Amino acid sequence: MNEKKVIAFIVEGPSDEAALGSVMKEYFSSNEVRFVAVHGDITLKDYVSADNILVKINEQIESVKNKYRYKQNDFIKIIHIVDTDGVYIPDTEIKEADVEEIQYYVDHIEAKNVSAIIERNERKGDILFKLRRTGKVNAEAYEGKVDEFIMFISDSAVAAPGTYQKTWDYIEKDTNSLNRHTNMHLIFDEK
C-alpha cells in the first residue's frame, strides 16, 4: 500500500500534463499526482459513447493502477479535464464556411460540414452529461507559481460560478461553452 494517496488527472495529451503538471504536483504535494494522457479527446473517439464512457475512463484508470501497482482505495480523486469545444451552443450558431478545420469564435463556430458538428455536439454533450451526472470521475506557464495559477483559474472572468452542478448549468447555457470558462477552480476548493 502506498503511503501517499493518489490524485489522477485524465487529460487529452502530454501538452496538458506539461501545462498543468507542475502546478498540480506542487498544490497536491502531500499526495501522489498522476496524469493519464488519452492522446486526443476521449469524448470524441469513435468507439466511445454515453453508454460506455465510464468503462473507457475506468480502463484508463486501470492502466495507471497496473503500471504503478495501485489499489482502488489508493485513489482519492480522479479529475477529468475536458475541452467543451462549443458543444452546448445552439445549432443556429454553427455556420457553414469554406474552412479546412473547425474555427471557434466567441459567439459561433464555422465549419465545412455543419450537420457533422451538430451530430458531434449532440454525442459529446450526451457523454459529458453522463460523466458529470455520475460524480465518480471527475495553459499558461505557472511552474512554481501555484498561488498565481489558483488566482487565475478562480478569477470571475474565467471561473464558471457556483457549485459543480451550477458550473455545468452555466457552461451549457447559450454560447458559454465557446468562451474561456472552466470549473477547474473547484479542484482547489477542497484540498
Secondary structure (3-state) at 54: helix
pLDDT at 191 over 70: no
Q: CA–CA separation, 145 vs 162, rounded Å? A: 25
Residue 79 CA to residue 104 CA, distance in Å, equals: 25
Extended strands (E) in the chain:
6-11, 32-37, 75-80, 94-96, 103-104, 109-111
Q: What is the pTM of this model?
A: 0.74
pLDDT band at residue 1 under the 50/70/90 scheme: very low
Amino acid symbol at 35: F
Q: Tell me the average pLDDT across 164-191.
A: 84
pLDDT at 132: 81
Tens-place pLDDT, residues 58-114: 899 999 999 999 988 899 888 889 888 999 999 999 999 999 999 999 999 999 999
pLDDT at 141 over 50: no
pLDDT at 176: 86
Question: For residue 54, is pLDDT > 80?
Answer: yes
Residue 70, CA distances (Å) to 21, 34, 35, 61 in order: 20, 11, 14, 10
Closest CA to 89 of 180, 181, 172: 172
In this prediction, residue 37 carries a pLDDT of 93
Digit-coded pLDDT (tens) for 3-36: 889 999 999 999 999 989 999 999 999 999 999 9
Instruction: Give residue 173's identity as a one-letter amino acid code.
Output: K
pLDDT band at 137 (very low <50, low <70, confident <90, very high): very low
Q: Looking at 57-66, 121-130, 175-184, which range is the least confident one?
A: 175-184
Task: Compute φ and ψ for 188, nearest 5 degrees.
Answer: -90, -5
Per-residue pLDDT band at 140 (split at 50, 70, 90): very low
**Greater model confidence, 136 or 152:** 152
